[in-house]
Amino acid sequence: NGLDLMRAVAEKGCDAPAILLTGQGSYELDLAAMEQGVYDYLLKDQVNELLLERTIRYALERRQAEAELERRVRERTHELAEANEQLAGINEELKTEIQRRTRVEETLRESETRFRALAETTSAAIFIVQEGKIRYANPAARFVTGYSPEELLGMDLWRLAHSAYQSALRESRMVSRWAKDVPVRYEIKILTKAGDERWVDLTAGNMQFEGRQAWVFTAFDITERDLAEQALRKTRDELEERVAQRTAEIQSTSQRLQTVLTTLPVGIVIAGEDGKIIEINQAARDLWDREAIAGMPINDWEHIKAWWSETGEPVAPGAAPLERAISEGKITLAAMLDIQTRSGTSKTILSSAVPIFDAKGKSTGGVGVIQDITAQRALEQRALYAARDAQQRAEELEGLHRATAALLSTLDLDELLCQILDAAQSAIPAAEKGMLHLVSPSTGQLQVRATLGFSDERIQVIHSPKGPGYPAWVVRERKPMLVADTQDSPVAKSLQGMPSEMGDVRSIILAPLYVGEQVLGTLSLSANEPNAFSESNLRLLASFAATTTAALQNAILHAEIKQLAVTDPLTGQLNRRAFFDLGQRELERFLRFNHPLSAVMIDLDRFKDINDTFGHAAGDQILRMLAERCRGTIRETDIFGRYGGDEFALLLPDTDIFVAESIARRIRDAVANMPWLTEQGMVPVAASLGVAPAVKRHKSLEDLLADADRALYQAKAGGRNRVEVLHP
């Protein structure tokens, strides 16, 4: 048996560390094995990978420590033996030399010389003491005591000893025990010059020194050996204590095992090498909704379905963790599986399994641990989704913050509208296109004022707030709107007949722009793919729209104030200052690039008579009507403004004198041939016009207008109600 084997190994002198692996749990047998040199013992049913590794590591470390201590003790013992032999030889030589000294003085001196040479070269401290005082100390005494030989001369020997030994040395109780001819050894503690405690092996013998009786003391420093012996004793005591503790643990483990199996909240399944259940606790039965019994194969439960959580692949026969632990000896830790129990309930479990090996390393079964983490996994998933939503929300809010901060940097309405669209698309990357509608203050209609991603100019269309379109609905309801797919929306027919770019739109989100009760317009983003936007995108767009309305309202007010600053309050056209600012830039462009430029001066004939006859209110009405008729005759890019009184000025960029003359005649006809109905009745109105082209000698706008004014005076002088051209 194993015990006989240990005895045979011990008899052969094998000193390899041994660990007893037993399945009996017999204290007497285990103790007998320990007496044969076993370092530790383990129960088979308690062995696991961590415990086996820790036990082997401890045995190896202990064996290494013992070997090191034994080596150091042997070395030190050998050194002490050699020193003793040397001292014995010295003593013998000294006795011989003493005997020979009586006969031959020369021989005595030679012997003394040899003694001193030996004493001064040995590693042991040598003291010669007479009447308790040191009369000689060799150089090695410095390394043992810390005192130089000179400092030791005349010192009481007992003063070198520790206080516990001083009294025995001082009263000669210890010295008196030494026989006259046989050196006696003691181990005593001394104090060095530095105050350190050292253990020395002290040997003493009688001798003659300078013709008188003396003692010779030899001291070896054995502090390290003593420390090693103390460590060995401590290790032995600790080992005995651990053996006692392990014995108590083994005795209580078997009693606790069954309690643990029945009370653990995780499922435990123990199976033999044939794959049949040996032991199963109630938690495992509850987890599978199945009343498993001992002897049932672990792969023979009815209605068991399992999938690997990570891949979703079904668990193949023989691939379950416990099956692989038995068949392959494979350790599996925390494999996540999705299972369907007998009742059809879906659960998520963590399955771990380890094999059980016998003393020869053969698998004898396995232990499986199953933990239901369904609720935990659901919480983790919810936490993950919440963290992801929070991160997305934080990123959206950060983008919204940066975007809205940029909107406060400008008061220019057109620039702001473009920035609003750019910022909205930046905050919602799924958007491919964007559109911003504003409600016209004069008509109440929705007008597209800015677009993003559209290239067709026909997108600039007018919608009625009462129409069926998405922006009209958002304005009426003052609510944001998400259209997942325009083809499934009843409003999709409103896109028919629109430019092709509008027909490509499949997803739209819209948000109203309003301050208090005033609706400013709508902000919309679109994509060419259906379901491109989420509810969070819609909430973000609505928040963004709410934050931009203040900046938008400021820009609108700024634009109105700016317009008032450059507009004639009576006619609504450019005032004199604004006309000169724009006109000067056109003249500079003409001087730089030589593009044609013409000027027209317009003056109502006998306007003073109209005021005197029909009143100033009728005169103001005629001036407003004249401005409207002139503006309706010219281009949007032409510069038209009130010059002063009943006189208007017109600049025609990129227009030569011949086209300018034609435009002037159309204006004259519109004035002379169309009725002028005022609140005072019909009023006859006529106008004279002067036309002049820009030339290189014109250095300022005043020079050009002066030429047009001269042509105007020619028209007045020629009978009025006519057009005159001042050719260069």
pLDDT tens digits, 627-638: 999 988 999 889
Which residue type is seen at 215? W
CATH class (in words) of the domain with range 394-559: alpha beta
CATH class (in words) of the domain with range 567-725: alpha beta
Q: Does 383 have pLDDT greater than 90?
A: no
Under 8 Å between Cβ of 267 and 281: yes
For the packed helices 374-407 and 535-566, what is the interaxial angle rounded to 10 degrees?
10
Q: Does 250 have pLDDT greater than 90?
A: no
Under 8 Å between Cβ of 506 and 487: yes
Under 8 Å between Cβ of 360 and 354: no
For residue 395, the model assigns a pLDDT of 61
Between 322-331, 563-572, 581-590, the lowest mean confidence (pLDDT) is in 563-572
pLDDT tens digits, 190-208: 888 888 888 888 888 778 7
Under 8 Å between Cβ of 704 and 712: no
Cα angle, residue 258 at apex, residues 253 and 259 outer, rounded to 5°: 90
User: 296 vs 72, which has greater pLDDT?
Assistant: 72
Same fold yes or no, 2-70 and 567-725: no
Contacts of residue 687, defined as CB under 8 A and 6 or more positions apart, other chains included, come to 602, 603, 604, 605, 626, 667, 668, 671, 672, 721
Under 8 Å between Cβ of 434 and 452: yes
For residue 688, the model assigns a pLDDT of 95
Under 8 Å between Cβ of 525 and 426: no
Domain ranges of the chain: 2-70, 76-228, 264-372, 394-559, 567-725
What is the CATH architecture of 264-372? 2-Layer Sandwich (3.30)
For residue 240, the model assigns a pLDDT of 86
Which tokens in the block code for residue 484? Answer: 């997942």
Mean pLDDT comparison of 18-27, 30-39, 233-242, highest-scoring range: 233-242
Between 3.40.50.970, 3.40.50.20, 3.40.50.2300, 3.50.50.60, what CATH number should domain 2-70 receive? 3.40.50.2300
pLDDT tens digits, 474-530: 888 888 999 988 887 665 555 444 444 456 788 999 988 877 777 778 889 999 899
515's enclosing H/E stretch is: strand 507-515
User: 216 vs 620, which has greater pLDDT?
Assistant: 620
For residue 501, the model assigns a pLDDT of 47
Q: What is the pTM of this model?
A: 0.35
What is the CATH architecture of 76-228? 2-Layer Sandwich (3.30)
pLDDT-based confidence at residue 321 (cuts at 50, 70, 90): confident
